[in-house]
Chain A
Amino acid sequence: MTTTSSPQAESDPVLARRRNIQSIAARSFGRRQLYSRVALAVCGVFLLMTLIPLVSVITYTAQRGLQAWSVSFFTKLPTPTGIPGGGIWNAIVGSLIIDAMAVAGAIPFGILGGLFLAESDGRIAGGIRFAADVMSGVPSIVLGIFAYIALVKTLGHFSAIAASFAIGVLMVPIIMRASETALRSVPRSLSEAGLALGARRAAVSRRVVLPAALPGLITSVLLALSRGVGETAPLLFTAIGSEYFSTSPVKPIAALPLVVYQDGIQAYSDLQTRAWGTAFFLVLLVLTLSIGSRLVAARLRRARR
């Protein structure tokens, strides 16, 4: 801040105003600084308030869940209340089957749809992008109802495939949008080089773009999986749960979130313990998938730099 020292300049109203502002700022600095520190401290408290539930949920789940954990918990089938030694093996396999089928169905739609969106900017693409975004906001219970009407009522029985359908529909928008982002970040020079060498678009996509975007695509799938594995509402009217071991896609099947939901509110404490053991396992599973997707995304970002 330069000022001339000529008496003419000092009587200049602009300079006088500037000096006035400076002195006000200097005098109020202490107050403003205090105010700022307090406000930021409140924001810090808010951060703590955000983290406290997380810590509480995870520690409570761990505390109650670990009581249930044992080798038999993971390898045996459930037993009725009062008979000890039961486990959730059927729910682990059931969730695996439901989510594997869901992802298998969602990947083609999601990645190929993402490829379409990444390559186009027209109105149709914009509409599809919009539809995908809106779809990801639809409550999952409505998806469960849709799967019930489409697959359970028509086929006449509850089934794993109906549950996979509901969860697959849930996953597609996530995979689609995340794949689009991943595919768009592949440098155009790569695809243009392929085209320049005479390859057709399909070949360029298959041999150049998709492999280059692979980490990002894997991230998108892991993200969708982490979301799908924990969903309960779509399973309520489709897979309905089971006490038995089943690998059949056309029969009711057990699933981890269903065990938590159905056994967690039971009045029998051994069933409640089983529910918490399952809950802790489920939380760890989703956390692993979530962190896994972040690690892949971080590696992707580092590789690009």
Chain B
Amino acid sequence: MPDGLYRGGLGAIAALFCVLITALVVTVAFQAASALNHFGLGFLVGTTWDPVHAHYGALPFIIGTLETTGIAMVLAVPIGLGTSMFLVHGIHGRIRAVLSTAVELLAAVPSVVYGLWALLVLAPWVRTIIEPALASITGGTGLFGGPQLGIGLLLAGLVLVVMVLPTMVAISRDVIAAVPDEQVEGAFALGATRWQVLWRVVLPSARTGLLGAVTLSMGRALGETIAVTMVIGNSTAIAHSLFSPSATLSSQIANQFTEATEPFHLSSLMALALILLVIAVIVNIAARLLVGSFGRDRSAASVAVL
């Protein structure tokens, strides 16, 4: 095969892939158009989801998505960072390899199994232990008020933490391990304790890569559908408390997609999908830009968790 044909052929295949992505975005946007035209930008801040009166608004779901992702990140970042620091600098040798693999195996459990487990194991635990404890510590009002159902925003956030941790840990671990040994050893030589080395030398040095890990994990949390749909309680009202049921962009789509026959119903759901797509793309672009500057030569195994 002549070189030109070979290069051209390969390029065409890769380009075909881009065509596919464009088709995806165009299709979703096209389907969303009629709702967006009808409701205008008010769709983004509308708070009612009323199929009977054909009045739709995306705000409760945008907030739900941001809230669940927020809870997930607030917990996953410190836990993930701590875990990866411990994995790189706290333990060595065989145990480190085994435990690293174990953490990465968390990513192998399918989302639907997490959803079922959360519904049957985590939800009662949240309802009987965590929510009463939080309510008694904080006085049981506002963010921690309302009936303690188990399912709801808090549970969805917790499930997301579990699902996002492998990504966070795997990338952070690579980033932290890539800090040049000279910097680390130099700090030790100056008499710093292990923690001081980590906190004042390693983390700042790995800062950009860690930010990339955080944003990638955030991207993962934003797009998670099945596990969240099963535990979030599916309420179309804006949640006022961590214990309230809520809904996210993807859970609302999953619930109502197959049945949307009323005017503007399907189109509004596609508009939600478009919003979700836009948010996911923005977050992913930010993540890639940050992680990209750290290095591209990761092992194939760690690409898996991306």
- Determine if A146 and B28 form an interchain contact, defined as CB atoms under 8 angstroms apart: yes
Q: How far is the CA of A172 from the CA of B17 in the complex (A)?
A: 8
Chain A residues near B23: list those with CB within 8 A.
146, 150
Q: Is A139 an interface residue (CB 8 A)?
A: yes
- Determine if A282 and B113 form an interchain contact, defined as CB atoms under 8 angstroms apart: yes
Q: How far is the CA of A57 from the CA of B117 in the complex (A)?
A: 6
- Determine if A264 and B112 form an interchain contact, defined as CB atoms under 8 angstroms apart: yes
Of B15, B87, B116, the residue contacting A279 (CB under 8 A) is B116
Interface 9-mer from B38-46, B53-61, B77-85, B178-186: B77-85
Interface size of B by CB at 8 A reads 95
Q: Is A53 an interface residue (CB 8 A)?
A: yes
Residues of chain A from 9 to 31 with CB closer than 8 A to chain B in the complex: 25, 29
Interface 9-mer from A76-84, A85-93, A130-138, A244-252: A130-138
- Determine if B273 and A145 form an interchain contact, defined as CB atoms under 8 angstroms apart: yes
Q: How far is the CA of A150 from the CA of B31 in the complex (A)?
A: 12
Q: Is the interface of A mostly helix, strand, loop or mixed?
A: helix
Q: Knowing that A139-B223, A139-B225, A283-B110 are A-B contacts, what are 16 other residue pairs whose CB atoms are under 8 Å apart, sorted by A's residue number? A: A39-B198, A40-B86, A40-B89, A47-B82, A54-B109, A116-B14, A133-B288, A134-B285, A137-B220, A150-B23, A219-B300, A230-B112, A233-B254, A236-B254, A237-B257, A294-B301
A residues within 8 Å of B by Cβ? 25, 29, 32-33, 35-37, 39-40, 42-47, 49-51, 53-54, 56-58, 60-61, 108-109, 112-113, 115-117, 119, 124-125, 127-128, 130-143, 145-146, 149-150, 169, 172, 174, 176-178, 181-182, 200-203, 205, 216, 219-220, 223, 226-227, 229-233, 236-237, 257, 260-261, 264-265, 275-276, 279, 282-283, 286-287, 289-291, 293-294, 297, 300-301
B residues within 8 Å of A by Cβ? 1-3, 5-7, 10-11, 13-18, 20-21, 23-24, 27-28, 31, 78-80, 82-83, 85-87, 89-90, 99, 101-117, 119-121, 162, 165, 169, 191, 193-196, 198-199, 216, 219-220, 222-226, 230, 250, 253-254, 257-258, 270, 273, 276-277, 280-281, 283-285, 287-288, 297-301, 303-304, 306
